[in-house]
Structure 1
Amino acid sequence: MQLNEHHSRASKYYLACVDCDWQCDAEFRLRCPACRGALSPQFNPKNAEPQKASEPELTYFDFLPITSRRFLDPGISLPTPCRPAAALGAEIGLPNLWLKDESRQPTGTTKDRLASVVLAVFREFGIKEWVASSTGNSSTALARAVRRDPSMRAHFFCGRDFVDAHRFGTSDRISLTIVDGSYADASREARTFAEESGLVWEGGFFNWARREGLKLAYLEAFDAMARQPDVVVQAISSGMGMMAAHKGAAEYLAAGRITSMPRFLMVQQDTCAPMAEAWREGRGELTESDVIDRPTGLARAILLGDGRATYPYMRDIARTSGGGIVSVTQAELAAARRLIREREGAEVCHAAAATIAALRTEAAAGRVTADQVVLANLTGRSRP
């Protein structure tokens, strides 16, 4: 989609539907009114350049849908290392393996990146009070960011099985409502509460500001790597992070900072793998029969039992990039987590370890080869 003259005059960016030709000037809108598709900020990446700065959002400000640096709150997220993993790579047959270690973020996961950009976008559009839900990591990161801004107020919802993953205290500005049910149940109640209270629903996957924040991990990684990656691997629940990675790569390709799109490999765990199963069966969508009401598994951060709304985007990314969506067993998750600790000294969560579990299997099957440069995003650590 080309940047038209009207939008280029109106703002730094505009919003365009990923699924159809609908577009609008910059505003906080979650879904396309024409087809209900996901919206994505569009700008001309040929005019964008990374800058020398200590804050990721300032380094990549040209690539963000934020019109002024004053909307950013310093210290919400940090740049994190991306380094070769020779010992681990040798163990799994991929000597050109690189690890992006997002466990170094302040709350321990890559979700600090989305918190920074979401709050900046909210400030830009004058949003002061809003409602969100998550399995823990996103809400923990968002709550930390809200705590630093006395003008903000947030209402978080979570399923009862995920209460202990929400690591923040409540106050008159930060509330947590516990729902008897799954993450999907909590999200439904949160949306209802937002509508009945006249508050903004933060949006989860369909909040494009989230994805814009998460893509910064990949821009950092591309800039740090000696060679651009042939394969990019991340664990998914809704697939928000992988959609962010794909957009970041597309923008870097358009900007001439990489020369080709990598393959995108997505990973779920066998106890909660509706997307991996649909991909393996060649299906274009998920149905009611694919929904898992109360998913369980070691990788709690990716326990999303209802992926119907977002699977088509993951399928398209896998299909167009020559990648795929795979699942790994609980035993493979545990073994990969130990291997990362023993070979690289990194203490990551099971969701992060899913990348190495999948790569080990893919390498053994010859679907990822020793000559390929592989980037695994370790999205976080386990919190005590």
Structure 2
Amino acid sequence: MLAKNIIACLMFIPEKIQLNPQAYLKCAVCGEEYPLELRYRCQACDGGVLNVVYSSTQTLKSGSGLSRFEDFVPIQPLPEFDCPETPLIRLDNPQYVDHDGIYCKVEGALATGNTKYRQSCMATPGLLWGGVKEFVVSSTGNSSSSFMYWAKKLEGLIRLHVFVPSTHRHRLKFDNPYATIHETNVDFVETGKLAKEYALENNLFWEGGFFNFFRREGLKTGYMEGATQLDFQVDVVFQPISSGMGFYGGYFGFKQLLANGYIEKMPRFVAVQQDTCPPVYTAFHSDREQIADEDIVRNPKGKAEAILRGNPTASYPYLRDLILETQGTVVAPTQAELLESYEILQETGISACHTAALSLAACKKLIVDGWISSSEKCLLMLTGGRS
């Protein structure tokens, strides 16, 4: 019934998908501006990322869900693509780590079991608005599954080609006739290259990954929602990263909250990787402006499967800039530390996958090291639930 209602709403009247009239695009590298359109890279420079910026004051609405952020996102939220509020739970386990300000944002409560549901609630109508009904996507599972979810719900209104490494095929959810799976025998980074080639050869739309601003704009709402749940008192933010898409989006969400007077200062942003696949960690702590060959991890392995991206060359410069600007850092817990935090969350009754558990492991390390004071509040993005 839900699918038929959505189709009735969207099939013949795409005009119902309305843009925020105050939103436009601006290149993070050269500052070139563009109207809001399906353009992901700047043509005026060497393909800089395009971010959504807003020309007027924004106000948070009452209630919950995406409609609360109507002024802060590029597509006016539709009830059919709403994203419910997820729980924020304070961790109280002094035996594990003695700190009163650890708050876990439980994104596993969303329909797809992870935070990538947020991206698809914004990117799916964004693609439909742009006239795209068939496209190519590649991921380690969560992003592709979020689009597969909507392909199934919309019963063919969108169709997608999903490229996935054989090592991650088991992570895809919501198999349906409208999602064609292309399984590869190479790692995730090489799989992404094959996906782009396939899109070009078959005249299909490549949906953009990290550079798809609709994705980032959807993902930032988790950060903004967490800030509202903490009465806008957030000192440090943690998220496990692959390309850093949600991390980068969350930074812009907090920038908007700052510009509109909801917060007094930017929190420090902490990117988290695992010790077996830490290219951002090694590059950042070596003070490199670009990913070097020695940072790249080929055919990476690790318990946090969702972030096994061994070569984040395209997105790293943007992540580095925001971490430096917010006086943040990058942490890479060991597999043992990851497993400990995973079990602690389970014992506490908080659902988190191995990737999500990295946020807690990193938070503990920085508390023990004295990088986080006893009075600071930490927002931990637990990006996925325990399967």
Q: TM-score, normalised by structure 2?
A: 0.91
SS of 2:176's partner is coil
Match of 1:254 among 237, 254, 259: 259
C-alpha separation in 2, matches of 1:298 and 1:69: 35
Amino acid at match of 2:369: A
Q: Is 1:356–2:360 an aligned residue pair?
A: yes
More off after superposition, 26-35 vs 331-340: 26-35
- CA-to-aligned-CA distance 1:276-317 (integer Å, 9 cap, x gap): 011111111112332222110000011101111111111111
C-alpha separation in 2, matches of 1:40 and 1:283: 23
Q: CA deviation at 1:116?
A: 0.8
Q: CA deviation at 1:192?
A: 0.7
SS of 2:113's partner is coil
SS of 1:178's partner is strand
Match of 1:278 among 280, 283, 293: 283
In structure 2, the residue matched to 1:28 is 38
More off after superposition, 287-296 vs 24-33: 287-296
C-alpha separation in 2, matches of 1:59 and 1:154: 30
SS of 2:273's partner is strand
Contact 2:122 2:215 (8 Å CA) reproduced: yes
C-alpha separation in 1, matches of 2:194 and 2:136: 10
In structure 1, the residue matched to 2:54 is 43
C-alpha separation in 1, matches of 2:27 and 2:157: 31
Q: CA deviation at 1:44?
A: 3.1
- CA-to-aligned-CA distance 1:344-366 (integer Å, 9 cap, x gap): 31121111110111111111110
Match of 1:16 among 22, 26, 36: 26
Q: CA deviation at 1:239?
A: 0.8
Q: Is 1:52–2:47 an aligned residue pair?
A: no
Describe how 1:1-384 pairs up with structure 2 within 5 A.
11-33=21-43, 34-44=45-55, 46=57, 48-54=58-64, 56-66=65-75, 68-69=76-77, 73-75=80-82, 77-85=83-91, 87-88=92-93, 91-149=96-154, 150-171=156-177, 173-226=178-231, 228-342=233-347, 344-383=348-387
In structure 2, the residue matched to 1:6 is none
Q: CA deviation at 1:52?
A: 3.1
Amino acid at match of 1:371: S
Q: CA deviation at 1:94?
A: 2.1
Relative distance call for 1:254 and 1:35 in structure 2 (3 A) is: same
Contact 1:73 1:120 (8 Å CA) reproduced: no
Deviating runs (4+, > 6 A) in structure 1? none
Relative distance call for 1:380 and 1:143 in structure 2 (3 A) is: same
Relative distance call for 1:69 and 1:333 in structure 2 (3 A) is: closer
Q: CA deviation at 1:179?
A: 1.0
Q: TM-score, normalised by structure 1?
A: 0.92
Amino acid at match of 1:41: V
C-alpha separation in 2, matches of 1:60 and 1:375: 19
Relative distance call for 1:227 and 1:93 in structure 2 (3 A) is: farther
C-alpha separation in 2, matches of 1:357 and 1:378: 11
C-alpha separation in 1, matches of 2:372 and 2:206: 40
RMSD: 1.7
SS of 1:131's partner is strand
Contact 2:86 2:106 (8 Å CA) reproduced: yes
Q: CA deviation at 1:51?
A: 2.1
Amino acid at match of 1:247: F
Q: CA deviation at 1:12?
A: 2.9
C-alpha separation in 2, matches of 1:374 and 1:289: 32
In structure 1, the residue matched to 2:12 is none
C-alpha separation in 2, matches of 1:270 and 1:69: 39
In structure 2, the residue matched to 1:4 is none
Contact 2:81 2:122 (8 Å CA) reproduced: no
SS of 1:108's partner is coil
C-alpha separation in 2, matches of 1:346 and 1:312: 33
Identity %: 33
Contact 2:238 2:272 (8 Å CA) reproduced: yes
C-alpha separation in 2, matches of 1:288 and 1:206: 22
Amino acid at match of 1:126: G
Amino acid at match of 1:26: L
SS of 1:360's partner is helix
Structure 1 gaps of 5+ residues are: 1-9
More off after superposition, 344-353 vs 329-338: 344-353
Residues matched between the structures, number: 367
